[in-house]
A and B are shown apart, each in its own frame.
Chain A
Amino acid sequence: MIVDHDVIVLGAGLAGMRAGLEAARAGANVAIITKVHPIRSHSSAAQGGINAAIAEDDTWESHAFDTVKGSDYLADQDAVEIMAREAPADIIEFEHMGVIFYRNEDGKLGRRAFGGASLARTYFVGDITGQALLVTLYDQILKAGVKVYEEWFATAVHMEDGACRGLVALEMITGELHLLRAKAVIFASGGLGRLYEPSTNALICTGDGYSLAYRAGAPLMDMAMVQYHPTTLAGSGFLMTEAARGEGAYLLNSEGERFMKKYAPNKMELAARDVTSRAEATEIAEGRGIDGNVLLDLRHLGPDVILKKLPQIHEMALDYLGIDMIKEPVPVRPGMHYQMGGIKTDVDGATRVPGIYAAGEVACVSVHGGNRLGANSLLDTIVFGRRSGRKAAEYARTVTASGGGEDLLRREKERLDELMSRPYTGETCAGLRLELATMMDEKVGLYRSDAGLKEALQALHGFRGRYANVWVGDKGRVFNQALTFVLELGFLLDCGETIIRDAMHRKESRGAHTHVDYPERNDREWLKHTVLTHRGEGQEPEMSYAPVTITQWQPEVRTY
């Protein structure tokens, strides 16, 4: 099947649906394509809340400054200013759409504290804020009648004369490949957590958009900046929201000490995530951990706060560890959580490639720089989702529809047929993915070193070689997940390579990128973005730099 739209959005999480809704409002013929039903998107796992300077004692400048400081001064300050200024209106719009935000005594939006913020500015719905936003936005998509291709898996980008003109996608339920032609494509396909084991991310976070856009010519920026969240559940690695600490929970070491006083005497448990994660890792490394974990203690908050404001994590600790956090502290450790880097965009989601836009985790505007503050990711999705939707629709009006793409569709069919017909050589997708992800956690995780990164790149080349033999263990057409897992593994390899190369390049420590051989931040040489551009299969990507935009906050020593 070949269909034509003005704008196609890849991904139906918050950024994707917000972009789709805005493009539809701007009059474009929009379709959203998503490999899972929109409600299954990983935005629903965002627990704690969403930041905005709404209250009278707050200012957008304060929000912007906290974000810039949190980013270790790698964020572009013009983009951060836009996000902080537009945040209140975007959140109020979601309130008007029906999100049941927590209220204060006056019936106005109530807030909670979050990490790295000068004051409480996080608006929330219990500890299901992402889910509450996602279902409300999905229902708005239904109301607006935006077309959604559910369980369609994108396999390739349709390019013509250097511009993006659509996607090829596999319809999971029939196994058919389709060509979706468009004047603009917005990548809102989320993160790449499956590249790391363990990770807080869902099994669907496989970096599809990074790889597809990168191979289509859109550069990736600051890929080394991979966030480790300070509180992920021991064992499973599930997220224990920062809101727990926002509500007042303590982090304790094996001696029962609130160790954050040594690392962040002012903000204590509410320091920025990179700082807190490293503090935990240090405690554990120095022998004050408990089986590789530290403790998250909520007991003093009392059952009322826990059950009313943090019910989901209470249930998760109970379900997956058998621990009732009302009575016992919960063992937690730093775990891979978020990719700050991504497809390099301007403040309207536009990339270097005409017709390619990006928003949400897959994009790098950059508002998060070297380290994202908690509750800024939901904000990023709705502000830049909206802006990219608007801009892509505007751009689409300037472009005339073109035919073509049948060639690509045929080539993709052949490529998938070839994949499916490979013989079994003992190389399995799951085994290879696990090796890759374990390696990434070990060598490209919280701490990096020259030697480790070199080994990582070598290992990755080895994995690429083996990937060429990986077996698709299902030969059917209907809902062939074995096939899509193999395609996802291909995306992950591209993500892994760009992260490793970017990390090798940045010879300093900044934000989430902690380089043991260069332990200091080096503003003289590295206060700049690193940008990777694809140069073709088997070739080293081109590395270039982009300046960091500084408007009013000069880099300072970062303490909490």
Chain B
Amino acid sequence: MQFTIEVGRYNPEGRYAETAVPGEAFPAPWNASPARRYQTYTVELPQHAVVLDALIAIREYQDPSLAVRCACRSAICGSCAMWINGHANLACKSKLESFTKDGKTRVESPPSMPIIRDLVCDMKPFWDKHLAVKPWLENKEPVPPPDEEYRVPNAAMEELIQEVSCISCSACLMDCESFAVNPDFLGPQALAQAYRYVGDPRDDKTKERLGELSKAGGIWDCTHCFECVQQCPKGVAPLEQILKLRKLAVDAGFTNNPGTRHADAFADSVKHSGRLNELTLMPKSTGLFNIVGQLKTLPSAINMARAGKLPPLIHKSIPGVERIKKIFQRVGGRFK
């Protein structure tokens, strides 16, 4: 079957041109090319072939100058995450047939990461974040003697397989909406790994970890866009792990932060009026006595007003709000 692949090319050295050697097996694809462009290739592959098969075929038999990271070819090593039709995916797990749109598949280095060459991006932001959550066990005392394991229920280990299944491909970070606007956000993979240690009964630093994670750039900076859940090729579902961390952090008393205040304000408003009071949400999230913080939100408020997006000044309760309150009582917890 014939597939058409449009590859985002980039060469920091400027050109591919001088390298072209004309020959039948290798038609010169480089002709006086600018540093960044799309290049179209056609490959003949079986119907069930994946995007990586196409890239390897191109690299091996059409254009050896195409740079792409890959190793295992079977979604284990995590090398080949890239943008495929505008979303992060593993090239080795993406069937060409299902990714062919308007007769072609477009692959490129994700714009959210610095580019090195062609489909090879700089993974430094990803690994920096991974390191930032101190992803190692801080052993709980007493550490068993060298011939004895920690005694823990299998369920506690099995619960962490989801996070340990992470292959560090970075697909989640590449498409993370929050990372896109805030480079300091720890991001889905690092936070999922943070949960992997917080959730480990053998770890001694649960509270310290939760405290760190509750700071700016941490668990509360996720905007629940679900991109990470969607893009993760291994079912790690980072957002789910972030939500678990939030609950654990609040339970551990880490509530003096905009994230918790935001959640509180949200719940409080719904409990008292049956719906969200957007007018008070922002000030309450910022902290009512945080004058500097309040002033900083002013420009946004003015912009919203200009755009006609300001919520009504008088907030009304919905009918039957009493029943809402009963729901809160039934659910229990912090908002009872």
Q: A202-B72, A474-B19 are in contact. Are A96 and B150 (CB under 8 A)?
A: yes
**Complex: A95 Cα to B151 Cα, angstroms:** 11
Chain A residues with Cβ below 8 Å from B116 are 173, 478-479
Is B111 in contact with chain A by the CB < 8 A criterion? no
Is B103 in contact with chain A by the CB < 8 A criterion? no
**Complex: A473 Cα to B20 Cα, angstroms:** 8
Is A29 in contact with chain B by the CB < 8 A criterion? no
A95's contact among B61, B76, B150, by CB below 8 Å, is which? Answer: B150
- Stretch with Cβ within 8 A of A (4 or more), from B62-70, B221-229, B250-258, B302-310: B62-70
**Complex: A475 Cα to B16 Cα, angstroms:** 8
Contact A107 B153 (CB under 8 A): yes
Contact A139 B136 (CB under 8 A): yes
Is A18 in contact with chain B by the CB < 8 A criterion? no
Is B295 in contact with chain A by the CB < 8 A criterion? no
Chain A residues with Cβ below 8 Å from B21 are 423-424, 471, 473
**Complex: A319 Cα to B164 Cα, angstroms:** 21
Contact B161 A126 (CB under 8 A): yes
Is B51 in contact with chain A by the CB < 8 A criterion? no
Contact B75 A316 (CB under 8 A): yes
A131's contact among B26, B70, B73, B164, by CB below 8 Å, is which? Answer: B164
Contact A478 B23 (CB under 8 A): no
CB 8 Å contact bits of B141-154 with A (1 = contact, 0 = none):
00110111111111
A142's contact among B65, B67, B131, B153, by CB below 8 Å, is which? Answer: B131
Contact B154 A428 (CB under 8 A): no
**Complex: A475 Cα to B26 Cα, angstroms:** 14
Is B290 in contact with chain A by the CB < 8 A criterion? no
Q: How far is the CB of B12 from chain A (nearest CB, A)?
A: 5
B164's contact among A106, A128, A316, A474, by CB below 8 Å, is which? Answer: A128
**Complex: A97 Cα to B160 Cα, angstroms:** 15
Chain B residues with Cβ below 8 Å from A136 are 137
The winner among A125, A131, A428, A473 for most chain B CB atoms within 10 A is A473
Q: Find residues 165-220 in chain B having any chain A CB closer than 8 Å to their own CB.
A: 165-168, 197, 200, 202-203
Chain A residues with Cβ below 8 Å from B135 are 139, 142
**Complex: A497 Cα to B4 Cα, angstroms:** 39
Contact B167 A39 (CB under 8 A): yes
Chain A residues with Cβ below 8 Å from B120 are 479
Chain B residues with Cβ below 8 Å from A39 are 77-78, 167-168
Contact B161 A100 (CB under 8 A): yes
Is A248 in contact with chain B by the CB < 8 A criterion? no
**Complex: A438 Cα to B196 Cα, angstroms:** 43
B65's contact among A42, A109, A320, A474, by CB below 8 Å, is which? Answer: A474
**Complex: A485 Cα to B77 Cα, angstroms:** 19
Chain B residues with Cβ below 8 Å from A131 are 76, 164-165, 167
**Complex: A476 Cα to B17 Cα, angstroms:** 10
- Stretch with Cβ within 8 A of B (4 or more), from A85-93, A179-187, A298-306, A352-360: A85-93
Contact B76 A45 (CB under 8 A): yes
Q: A98-B202, A475-B18 are in contact. Are A103 and B157 (CB under 8 A)?
A: yes
Chain A residues with Cβ below 8 Å from B144 are 92, 96
The winner among B60, B127, B151 for most chain A CB atoms within 10 A is B60
Interface bracket on A: 35 or more
**Complex: A101 Cα to B116 Cα, angstroms:** 38
Is A163 in contact with chain B by the CB < 8 A criterion? no
Interface bracket on B: 35 or more
Contact B164 A92 (CB under 8 A): no
Is B74 in contact with chain A by the CB < 8 A criterion? yes
Q: Find residues 467-496 in chain A having any chain B CB closer than 8 Å to their own CB.
A: 471-482, 485
Is B42 in contact with chain A by the CB < 8 A criterion? no
**Complex: A126 Cα to B116 Cα, angstroms:** 36
Q: Find residues 316-337 in chain A having any chain B CB closer than 8 Å to their own CB.
A: 316, 319-320, 322
Is A263 in contact with chain B by the CB < 8 A criterion? no
**Complex: A109 Cα to B157 Cα, angstroms:** 11
Q: Residue of B at shortest CB range from A425?
A: B23
Contact A312 B202 (CB under 8 A): no
Contact A92 B72 (CB under 8 A): no
**Complex: A126 Cα to B165 Cα, angstroms:** 10
Q: A92-B148, A322-B48 are in contact. Are A103 and B71 (CB under 8 A)?
A: no
Q: A89-B146, A101-B149, A202-B72 are in contact. Are A476 and B164 (CB under 8 A)?
A: no
Q: A107-B153, A424-B26 are in contact. Are A42 and B131 (CB under 8 A)?
A: no
A428's contact among B25, B48, B72, B149, by CB below 8 Å, is which? Answer: B25
A108's contact among B65, B67, B127, B151, by CB below 8 Å, is which? Answer: B151
Contact B161 A103 (CB under 8 A): no
Q: Find residues 67-98 in chain B having any chain A CB closer than 8 Å to their own CB.
A: 67-79, 93
Q: A236-B74, A320-B74 are in contact. Are A430 and B61 (CB under 8 A)?
A: yes
Contact B73 A238 (CB under 8 A): yes
Is B45 in contact with chain A by the CB < 8 A criterion? no
Q: A44-B167, A476-B19 are in contact. Are A104 and B154 (CB under 8 A)?
A: yes
Is A37 in contact with chain B by the CB < 8 A criterion? yes
Contact A128 B165 (CB under 8 A): yes
Contact B153 A202 (CB under 8 A): no
Contact B152 A98 (CB under 8 A): no
**Complex: A83 Cα to B79 Cα, angstroms:** 32
**Complex: A440 Cα to B54 Cα, angstroms:** 25
Can you name 23 A-B pairs with beta carbons within 8 Å? A39-B78, A45-B74, A92-B146, A92-B147, A92-B149, A96-B139, A96-B144, A96-B149, A97-B136, A98-B136, A98-B202, A100-B161, A102-B157, A110-B154, A142-B131, A202-B73, A238-B73, A319-B74, A428-B25, A429-B64, A430-B64, A476-B117, A479-B116
